[in-house]
Structure 1
């Protein structure tokens, strides 16, 4: 159990390099699904490992031992480090739970503040170019917010592509995937590195939706490039966006434009990167189950030493 329990805590460090290649190596929708599954799966396995580290130390306490009907120490558990490890793991678990809870509450509060009843499109009278997708909440749908400055910066076809991009963020509920990645990052520090590839993959999903909507990849690429340039030029004086907003001008725009025009990075490493992430999930989950099984056997052995049983 002692060896297996560390595998889920180390596996995220192996997954991160493969995740960085994945966003360019797979189709965006597949990359998003795998990155989200990897982040959530590895985070859950890490939390399971921390929980398993708490149990041996906790059973050293008389009250816990009596509750579990234990009359002897757990077999295969070294007594000396058990209590310090349990205390450290408990602190980490408590910190993770508090951080995830605060993040979920903050996101819900921001959705309530940002959501306003109305149509799908809100045009702000502002000469500063900006556009973003503002997620909704139950009972109030999301909205596309665009300034008059952004509308003037684009021609009609480019406006259609920009609106289609933002609409894809809303219909795909991309803000929930971003929150899931943030929650996973709070459970393991290595998983913070998954947020950038996921953000890029989400923007690529919206880019592809825009290209499909207008029927011209070059128009979509031009719209994203021009929108990003216009927004960046006005960045110093632009009004702050709500934190839950997703914008077409975000992320590595040159890479996204190159991908739309078919000049992106080669995809020959896609299967290898995907296989690596899947292997990390399988190994981490298997190790967590193995450690849990060993701990359960140790508890049953300790209970079986009771002559009254």
Structure 2
């Protein structure tokens, strides 16, 4: 356990460095899967490792070892984990569990509220038009989901752009993008080092929806123009509001001006639409798979080591 238990932490430090390359170079659907899986697996692996470190050190305390009929002396000799490390791991574990539980509770409440709102909204073919001069559009998850568009947004766009907007929002609903966001955020809640991965997912789901709209219309430049037009309209209307964290919309997150390498999500999305479609990136896919496999195997190995340790120090 002395080495294996620390591997997930090392990978969690290194993994965010790959969030931007994966989101920018991989086909958006694949990138979303890779980033979501990375956040969830690494968040789970580091949480388990914290639990293993806490348990290994605490059984070296005579009073605690006696509760499980273990030999504290043998535990310290076989795996001499510092008590300070175990206490720190225990505190971090408690924080990770609380943060993940709070995130799950908030997300469940938001999605439940969105589902109720969607069910109560009168819709035509799943489309709800609200009387609001502020340009806004988003997908509201539910059974069934709803696409909500304000009259201000409809007046901003022409007929062709209406179709692009609807194709984008339908992609959010049919692909269940809210689930990817929730799972990625769950991993980041357990381990804040993984927040870049969760932010990457919020970007790649927008790119995924953009590509769906481009495929349905056959005009990438027109989709790019629509994305930019919507973002500009929203930027000119600072009073525009969004409906809850479960809402997924074409607006995304407005970025600051600057070189493309440092640009916000909307300029990057527009640039991606003006370029040829991205393909699957075998190298990044293989590297991500290797990281997830290493984290999983290390966690399994560390858990097995704890089992062996408990067996060795028991019945003394």
The TM-score, its normalising length taken from structure 1, stands at: 0.89
Residues 28 and 207, structure 2, Cα contact 8 Å, conserved in 1: yes
* Corresponding residue for residue 158 of structure 2: 155
- 1:124 equivalent in alignment to 2:130: yes
Kindly state the Cα deviation for residue 209 of structure 1 after the two structures are TM-superposed.
Answer: 1.1
- 1:221 equivalent in alignment to 2:224: yes
- 1:260 equivalent in alignment to 2:262: no
Residues 19 and 273, structure 1, Cα contact 8 Å, conserved in 2: no
1:2-21 deviation line (CA, Å, top 9, x unaligned): 22211111211111112210
Number of residue-to-residue matches in the alignment = 297
Match of 2:168 among 165, 189, 201: 165
Kindly state the Cα deviation for residue 113 of structure 1 after the two structures are TM-superposed.
Answer: 3.1
Question: Larger deviation: 143-152 or 103-112?
Answer: 103-112
Question: Larger deviation: 30-39 or 106-115?
Answer: 106-115
1:50 & 1:25 partners in 2: Cα distance?
33
1:172-213 deviation line (CA, Å, top 9, x unaligned): 111111111111111112101112221111111101111122
Residues 165 and 206, structure 1, Cα contact 8 Å, conserved in 2: yes
1:285 & 1:240 partners in 2: Cα distance?
38
Kindly state the Cα deviation for residue 63 of structure 1 after the two structures are TM-superposed.
Answer: 5.8
Match of 2:285 among 264, 274, 292: 274
2:234 & 2:168 partners in 1: Cα distance?
16
1:155 & 1:11 partners in 2: Cα distance?
47
Match of 1:285 among 290, 296, 316: 296
* Corresponding residue for residue 262 of structure 2: none
Residues 19 and 277, structure 1, Cα contact 8 Å, conserved in 2: no
Please state whether the residue corresponding to 1:73 is helix, strand or coil: helix
Kindly state the Cα deviation for residue 29 of structure 1 after the two structures are TM-superposed.
Answer: 0.8
1:127 & 1:165 partners in 2: Cα distance?
21
The TM-score, its normalising length taken from structure 2, stands at: 0.87
Kindly state the Cα deviation for residue 156 of structure 1 after the two structures are TM-superposed.
Answer: 0.7
* Corresponding residue for residue 20 of structure 1: 20
Provide the alpha-carbon RMSD of the alignment: 2.1
Residues 39 and 198, structure 2, Cα contact 8 Å, conserved in 1: no
1:258 & 1:63 partners in 2: Cα distance?
62
- 1:135 equivalent in alignment to 2:132: no
Change (3 A) 1:216 1:175: same
* Corresponding residue for residue 65 of structure 1: 65
What 5-or-longer segments of structure 1 have no aligned partner?
Answer: none
1:112 & 1:44 partners in 2: Cα distance?
25
Please state whether the residue corresponding to 2:275 is helix, strand or coil: coil
Alignment of 1:79-118 (within 5 A): 81=82, 83-114=83-114, 115-116=116-117, 117=119, 118=122
2:64 & 2:273 partners in 1: Cα distance?
59
Question: Larger deviation: 225-234 or 294-303?
Answer: 294-303
Change (3 A) 1:247 1:20: same
2:50 & 2:197 partners in 1: Cα distance?
21
2:216 & 2:303 partners in 1: Cα distance?
49
Residues 161 and 210, structure 1, Cα contact 8 Å, conserved in 2: yes
Question: Larger deviation: 179-188 or 69-78?
Answer: 69-78
Please state whether the residue corresponding to 1:17 is helix, strand or coil: helix
